[in-house]
Amino acid sequence: MKPPTFAYHRPASVAEAVATLGDSNGAAKVLAGGQSLVPLLNMRLAAPAALVDINRLGDELAFVEATAGSVRIGALTRHAQTDASEVAHAALPLLRQATRHVAHQTIRNRGTTVGSIVHADPAGEMPAVLLVCDGEIELASASGRRTVAAADFFTGPLESALRPDELAIAATFTVPPGRTGSAWVEVSRRAGDYALCGVGLVVTLGADGTVERARGGYISVGPTPVLVDLTDAVGGASPAKADWDAAGALAASSVEPEEDIHASADYRRELVRVLTMRAGRQAVAHASARELAERPSGSARELAERPSGSARELAERPTAARAEDP
């Protein structure tokens, strides 16, 4: 199928892009990766009067920035670039964990992280990651810029707080405190399909080593991504004794999935329960491993770096000495 007729604009700057959007009277769509928009056009499910292609704006909008407190991703950063970013992964492992579940590699090579968020698909991974990480979206228009928190951005299926004259500039994900682990788990009919249910779970350990905070972001179980605070179920417990069965039951009681041709509401609710248990155990193990690696002493790192009595000592012995070892 072919898309309906539209005017095509290819601005050379963000300022030109937002001016074009402002002049369109709400009848234009932004083209970035196009992995969602182009199929909608071809199936005649969308018929904008104009497209504003921002792919020339890489110098302004293709970036990944990480600080001690946040990861900021530009509107032209492809999923594959988000996945490959070591600074983003070091600061916020959940980004890579979730990105690798987005569709197929060919789509990740072209589709954009921010575009996925703005598309506001309740089955999309990136909106849930932004939500569970207390993130925000930066929006620009001819009249200025504003920032919208993830909790206020998603308003319904494929609906968001983005105004017709606005361009999404970047998404900022808050980096949780130290001793935090995460996991992304989902179930789909085939690899690369939309998930029947998915969860991104983040667990933070306190100074005493017990679970201080646990939250999950869920997809495909509501009209928007769903955030559930699981701390009441597992807070205060040691990682080994955290009751993820109770956390799964809490999550299942907190969602209201709808039935469709792919799964019943009860089945999706059961997936929420089971995937919460699975992701919770993975996330708390991840948190414990990160805490161990970051300890200044008495840790695996210290053991590996001991100057004697270690594998390193053996490796550094003269060849003759090694040959004499039994």
pLDDT digits (tens, 9 = 90+) for 71-103: 999 999 999 999 999 999 999 999 999 999 999
Give the pLDDT score at 325.
Answer: 35
The 10s digit of each residue's pLDDT in 117-137 is 999 999 999 999 999 999 999
Measured in whole angstroms, how far is the alpha carbon of residue 225 from the centre of its chain? 12
Looking at beta carbons, which pairs linking 258-265 to residues 24 or more positions away fall under 8 Å? 258/222, 262/189, 262/196, 263/196, 263/197
323 has a pLDDT exceeding 80: no
Query: What DSSP line would sit under 51-114, residue for residue?
Result: EEE-TT-HHHH--EEE-SSEEEEETT-BHHHHHH-HHHHHH-HHHHHHHTTSS-HHHHHHSBHH
pTM above 0.85, yes or no: yes
Indicate if the pLDDT at residue 201 is higher than 70: yes
Question: How does 116-149 read in b/e, with b if 16+ C-beta sit within 10 Å?
Answer: bbbbbbbbbbbbbbbbbbbbbbbbbbeeeeeebe
| In the predicted structure, residue 55 carries a pLDDT above the cut 60 | yes
Average per-residue pLDDT in the chain? 91
Q: Per-residue pLDDT averaged across 11-16, rounded?
A: 98
Q: Say whether 313 sits in a helix, a strand or coil.
A: helix
The answer, yes or no, to whether residue 24 has pLDDT greater than 90, is: yes
Residue 292: predicted pLDDT: 84
Catalogue all structural domains in the chain, each as residue range(s) with its CATH number.
7-174 (3.30.465.10), 180-294 (3.30.390.50)
Residue 114: CB atoms within 10 Å: 24
* pLDDT, tens digit, 9 for 90 and up, residues 226-268: 999 999 999 999 999 999 999 999 999 999 999 999 999 999 9
Q: So what's the pLDDT on residue 304?
A: 44
| Assigned token pair, 265 | 């509401």
Per-residue pLDDT reduced to its tens digit, 258-314: 999 999 999 999 999 999 999 999 999 999 998 888 776 544 444 344 443 433 333
Residue 225 has pLDDT above 50, yes or no: yes
For residues 313-325, average pLDDT: 36
Beta bridge partners of 227: 217
How far does CA 161 lie from the centroid of its chain?
19
Largest separation between any pair of C-alpha atoms in the chain: 82
50-53 and 7-9 beta bridge pairing: parallel
